[in-house]
């Protein structure tokens, strides 16, 4: 379901401990850390680059990574956005984001919402936690699942029509105007289809 990513970005939320996340970190060509995530990440893998305004980085840690720091002073964007801009400029087009949820709900919601911006800038981008996977979805298509897997859809802006095939509870040409309306569904098999019309865009969450 996850596949391999060339680049993994680690944000300063709840650091993942699940098998999929650790495998992704081990197999990535490049690992980019938001500055506040370095201390947790370095216990698993030394980051190739540390990006941010560096205000969350202790002086001793900054010295240790002096050759890997990329400072961005812009206070109008968060560190995840700064890291993703660095990754895009470096030429990576398939990116997995870890550590973007947990700890603070405001950071969690803000980071999740950014996926709809990032998906327009990259070929593939997803956000993984120890509990599930967020995939931004802008077109009709099929996603992998397993029978009984819990699935939620969140409409992100606009009011395009959404339909699904292969989930227990039907959604047929509905405009999901509130976040809860497409949640708590269940996969019937090893894949399901999300059908989007009229500019609809959704975040698909598949729980582990």
pLDDT, greater one: 57 or 205 = 205
Looking at residues 4-27, what average pLDDT do you find?
A: 94
174 pLDDT band, cuts 50/70/90, is: very high
The pTM score is 0.95
Torsions phi, psi for 122 (to 5 deg):
-130, 160
| pLDDT tens per residue, range 151-171 | 999 998 767 899 999 999 999
Cβ within 8 Å of residue 186, ≥6 positions away: 148, 149, 150, 151, 167, 168, 169
| pLDDT tens per residue, range 65-90 | 999 999 998 778 889 999 999 999 99
Q: How far apart are CA 96 and CA 93, in angstroms?
A: 10
Looking at residues 182-194, what average pLDDT do you find?
A: 98
| pLDDT tens per residue, range 116-133 | 999 999 999 999 999 999
pLDDT at residue 100, rounded to an integer: 97
| pLDDT tens per residue, range 28-67 | 999 999 988 999 999 999 999 999 888 778 888 889 999 9
Token representation of residue 99: 């550590």
- Contact between 86 and 31 under an 8 Å Cβ cutoff? The reply is no
- Contact between 102 and 14 under an 8 Å Cβ cutoff? The reply is yes
Q: How far apart are CA 130 and CA 133, in angstroms?
A: 8
């Amino acid at each position: 379901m996850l596949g391999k990513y060339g680049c993994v970005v680690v944000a300063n939320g709840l650091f993942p401990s699940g098998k999929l996340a650790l495998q992704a970190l081990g197999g990535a060509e490049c690992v980019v850390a938001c500055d506040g995530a370095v201390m947790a990440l370095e216990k698993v893998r030394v980051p190739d680059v540390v990006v941010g305004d560096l205000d969350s980085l202790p002086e001793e840690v900054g010295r240790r990574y002096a050759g890997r720091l990329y400072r961005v002073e812009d206070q109008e964007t968060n560190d995840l956005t700064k890291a993703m801009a660095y990754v895009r400029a470096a030429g990576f087009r398939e990116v997995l984001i870890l550590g973007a949820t947990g700890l603070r709900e405001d950071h969690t919601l803000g980071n999740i919402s950014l996926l709809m911006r990032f998906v327009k800038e990259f070929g593939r981008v997803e956000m993984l936690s120890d509990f599930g996977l967020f995939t931004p979805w802008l077109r009709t298509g099929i996603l992998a699942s397993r029978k009984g897997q819990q699935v939620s859809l969140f409409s992100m802006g606009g009011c395009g029509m959404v339909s699904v095939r292969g989930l227990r509870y039907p959604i047929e040409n509905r405009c999901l105007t509130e976040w809860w309306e497409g949640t708590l569904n269940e996969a019937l098999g090893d894949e399901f289809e999300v059908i989007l019309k009229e500019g609809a865009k959704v975040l698909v969450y598949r729980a582990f």
